[in-house]
Chains A and B, each alone.
Chain A
Amino acid sequence: MTKQVEEKQEVTIVFAGDSGDGIQLTGTQFTNTNALFGNDISTFPNYPAEIRAPQGTLAGVSGFQLKFGSIEVATPGDDCDVLVAMNAAAFKVNIARLKKHGTIIINSDGFNARDLKLAGYETSPLEDKSLNDYRTIQIDVTKMTRTALEDSGLGKKEMDRSRNMFVLGFLYYMYSRKLEGTIEFIKQKFAKKPDLIDANIGVLKAGYHFGDTSEVFTSRYNVKAASLPAGSYRNIMGNQAAALGLIAASQKSGLDLFYGSYPITPASDILHELAKHKNFGVRSFQAEDEIAAMCSVIGASFGGKLGITASSGPGIALKGEAIGLGIMLELPMVIVNVQRGGPSTGLPTKTEQADLLQAYYGRNGEAPMPIVSASTPSDCFNAAYEACRIALEHMTPVFLLSDGYIANGSEPWKFPTTAELPSITPKFVPTNKGEETYLPYKRDENLVRDWAVPGMAGYEHRIGGLEKEVDTGNVSYDPDNHEKMVKIRAEKVAKIADSIPLQIVNNGAEKGDVLLLSWGSTYGVVKTAVKQCNENGLAVGHIHLTYLSPFPKNLGELLKNYTHIIVPEINNGQLVKIIRDQFLVDAKGLNKIKGIPFSTKEIIEAIEQKFEVA
């Protein structure tokens, strides 16, 4: 039976189930297949902190949201068109996000009496009026999977592990996608367990054929390839992009990469990625704690390598004293903070932008350092590369701020070639030392000192955390010298503004009533909201900051072009404080502190409110 194919511009799907249901894998596979097909995509994995939270409970629900389209996709979407719910708890947690008349695909086996009780339902939502507004497709996925695997010789438990493949196959049919990519993935993943290859591929195909032969659909859907700028693309997640950016900087600067870190959510994937690439000379070191990770980086940088560490808020707090040493030593190094909800242990698997002030001020004494932030999953590459460039060319520790949302999210990436990447020139002393005495803290016009590393004859010198005399670097307690050095270190960081691009108005009106001033992972949602407001005739501009310290030199001028400045942040108001402090403008915060990103709607409402008041 041939079904009609209906074109869609964009579709948002939420996969939801128990944290053991393979939801993240299903979402990732669906994403990769659509990316390879040529759709623009944005994803948002949302899972509990517990590896295996109690089965069937609301706390144990794992979700994966993605939006794919034939038009530009900058966010994973507010509400979804399709909800896949593997059990009653997953249904309960996510049903509010389903659009009216949206489609819900339900695993009916996940709605038995026990599931309903765990989810807190008195009566089954499948049997009352809860689903009246939606198009419901009920499938007993467990039964279908077991039937497909009848002759496999696998036990029930093992069979049930393939249930996610049935759903994936079903969706591939629904959206007219091919199975090849996922089949290849299954073959690689289970290379050592051939019976699981057959089982998973079998169930994937069974799901696909079920879509074809059952009378569930009268039509299939297609989302055409997006008209992205010409070039070669791949799909990439934020943490992976950050790791590649670090390796690229290592290769372009000619310095081996040393990566010292301690496992922490959501930064660990950077360590996992880097550890795979030892053939690039990457020395990845899992230290005994966060402090050791930071200190090992200082040792590596002292030794002339590109020293990098990454962590999240709690780990960054532990590294604080050593980062201060890095600032005092004026050695190049990059500290990546993949932010998560805080304070303390906070919300490990949820996103937040609440460590900006920690990056700015979270050290003892006057300890300024440059801060760069990443805007999207693929932008983690650019930001990581740029952080390394600034560190090596300006002899300073640099903060790179990412967050859980973009670290785990993914999108198509028009990747650069090696030749296209800007050069990075470390500030080494000349190999052949002349007659002149080497002064470790003598500076160039940018106040940057020269880098001499062990092994270089004639440059032997001692550095440390005690205040240093200007030029010589000898220990000095002289009051005037201390004041001078504090000012020099601050001015050195401020002068980096000379080597970074001027700020542009990223989207919308160059002048007007309202400016949205954002940073980090809010880029996509603010861009989408501003675009919609512009289409509705509102004079709204959008400036998105990559460089948070120092700011681009023209930022103050740009801010003067708008009557109202709104600073949207996933925190209780941090950038807004710094903007008000540095530019004396009446910027107002728009804040959300729920561990999840803004929706487009929330941003638009805030903009419209300004216009109503005006």
Chain B
Amino acid sequence: MSEVATKPLTAKDFATDQDVRWCPGCGDYSILKQVQSIMPELGRDKEDIVFISGIGCSSRFPYYMNTYGMHSIHGRATAVASGLKISRPELSVWIITGDGDALSIGGNHLIHMIRRNFDVNVLLFNNEIYGLTKGQYSPTSPEGKVTKSTPIGSLDHPFNPLKLCLGADSTFIARTMDRDPKHQREILLRGSQHVGTSMIEIYQNCNVFNDGAFEVFTDKGSKLQETLFLEQGKPLIFGAEREKAIALDGPNPRIVNLAEANEGDLMIHDETNRFQAQLLTSFFDDPKMEGHLPRPFGVFYAEDRYRYEEAMEEQIAFATDKFGKGNLDKLLSGNNVWTVS
């Protein structure tokens, strides 16, 4: 909105004077850095960007972004953002949330925001633990997880976040990780370009209460074996030597040796295919399990569907066209007036 030509923005322009208060070594630092680094690429002025968070470690995030921001209440960032987006559709709105904030206390708002497909970007910092309250299990913690609140192991079956989002008819789902800045940056940019609710799950290490939860995916020694980086139009290849691929056996995926596989059987990534996306969200095996599938990272699914806030603007335009711009005096008098003299 500023009329004066200024030099292009850099990542530094998006940092604030506030001390960052996450624990040393927290995965949040990496995400903050990547988000600040992609901000200039949005092509938006700082004043047109808003970060909204709920409660939890990750939700401190807006304080560190030199944009407009709100640190709201537990689980409700999505609901706050919904109201803001209806009111100000032109703003670039970013929601910062965690596994407890988005999937436990705020689960209802999350699925409803997704079905309405507001044009917002959701960064779901998943560390599979409650960090700010010092170490209780979360709705993404694995079964049997031993934490302060589950000394003999958690009885809860965990959510599969991206499957949940797809179940609510999400128009964009993607997964990335704190330890892979390059991939993270790529996915953040893709998400920011998607018009509609972009759900980005970020595996984030809590080195104090749940250290190493995603080590098998992030550690150099196992990463190539255990992860599957999705590329549009390409076969699903992974392995230390990129020697393995996913083939379809009827409706079921199975791991094949790339060299021996029949090319026609290989699963080719198509992010516009909803059924395939459903299959990919089911690649959610416990990595300790014999014969488990690798965990996919990247854009699972992207679809163009109408946005609630745009439809709202259209309805307002339609009503204004049909009934004329509201006339308050006519509204106050109504159609049945009598006069007392």
A residues adjacent to B (C-beta < 8 A) = 32, 35-38, 181, 225, 227-236, 244, 247-248, 251, 256, 258, 260, 277-281, 283, 285, 287-289, 291-292, 295-300, 302-305, 307, 321-322, 325, 329, 415-418, 453-466, 474-475
Nearest to B91 among chain A residues (CB) is A454
Residues of A within 8 A of B323 (CB): 279
| Stretch of B68-76, B137-145, B226-234 contacting A (4+ beta carbons < 8 Å) | B68-76
Nearest CB of A to B324, in Å:
7
Question: Judging by beta carbons under 8 Å apart, are B333 and A415 in contact?
Answer: yes
Question: Judging by beta carbons under 8 Å apart, are A295 and B76 in contact?
Answer: yes
Question: Judging by beta carbons under 8 Å apart, are A298 and B72 in contact?
Answer: yes
Residues of A within 8 A of B49 (CB): 454
B152: Cβ under 8 A from any A Cβ? no
B52: Cβ under 8 A from any A Cβ? yes
**A–B complex contacts, Cβ < 8 Å, 22 sampled:** A35-B336, A227-B340, A229-B340, A232-B338, A247-B328, A278-B319, A279-B319, A279-B320, A288-B108, A288-B112, A291-B76, A296-B82, A299-B80, A299-B85, A302-B84, A303-B87, A305-B88, A416-B332, A455-B47, A464-B62, A464-B70, A475-B63
| Cross-interface CB contact of B72 among A227, A248, A465, A475, cutoff 8 Å | A465
Nearest CB of B to A184, in Å:
9
Residues of A within 8 A of B341 (CB): 230
| Cross-interface CB contact of A462 among B70, B91, B109, cutoff 8 Å | B70
Nearest CB of B to A592, in Å:
34
- Given A36-B338, A247-B331, A464 and B71 contact (CB-CB distance below 8 Å): yes
Give the interface centre of A279, A289, A474, A475 by most chain B CB atoms within 10 Å. Answer: A279
Nearest CB of B to A305, in Å:
4
| Cross-interface CB contact of B80 among A32, A298, A460, A466, cutoff 8 Å | A298
Nearest CB of B to A185, in Å:
10
Nearest CB of A to B55, in Å:
8
Question: Judging by beta carbons under 8 Å apart, are B46 and A460 in contact?
Answer: yes
Nearest to A284 among chain B residues (CB) is B312
Q: How far is the CA of A415 from the CA of B320 in the complex (A)?
A: 24
User: Please, how many residues of chain B have a CB less than 8 angstroms from a CB on the other chain?
Assistant: 63
B153: Cβ under 8 A from any A Cβ? no
Q: How far is the CA of A35 from the CA of B337 in the complex (A)?
A: 9
Residues of B within 8 A of A462 (CB): 16, 51, 62-63, 65, 68-71
- Given A279-B323, A457-B1, A475-B63, A32 and B336 contact (CB-CB distance below 8 Å): yes
- Given A260-B83, A418-B328, A465-B72, A454 and B50 contact (CB-CB distance below 8 Å): yes
Residues of A within 8 A of B63 (CB): 462, 464, 475
Q: How far is the CA of A302 from the CA of B69 in the complex (A)?
A: 9
Nearest to A181 among chain B residues (CB) is B336
Question: Judging by beta carbons under 8 Å apart, are B338 and A233 in contact?
Answer: yes
| Cross-interface CB contact of B73 among A307, A321, A460, A475, cutoff 8 Å | A321
Residues of B within 8 A of A302 (CB): 50, 68, 70, 80, 84
Question: Judging by beta carbons under 8 Å apart, are B80 and A291 in contact?
Answer: no
Residues of B within 8 A of A285 (CB): 82-83, 86
B202: Cβ under 8 A from any A Cβ? no
B262: Cβ under 8 A from any A Cβ? no
Q: How far is the CA of A227 from the CA of B66 in the complex (A)?
A: 63
B278: Cβ under 8 A from any A Cβ? no
A-contact 0/1 string along B144-178, CB 8 Å cutoff: 00000000000000000000000000000000000
B252: Cβ under 8 A from any A Cβ? no
Nearest to B71 among chain A residues (CB) is A464
Nearest to A293 among chain B residues (CB) is B79
Question: Judging by beta carbons under 8 Å apart, are B91 and A303 in contact?
Answer: yes
Q: How far is the CA of A466 from the CA of B63 in the complex (A)?
A: 11
Q: How far is the CA of A475 from the CA of B63 in the complex (A)?
A: 9
Q: How far is the CA of A446 from the CA of B81 in the complex (A)?
A: 30
Q: How far is the CA of A401 from the CA of B194 in the complex (A)?
A: 43
Question: Judging by beta carbons under 8 Å apart, are A280 and B331 in contact?
Answer: yes
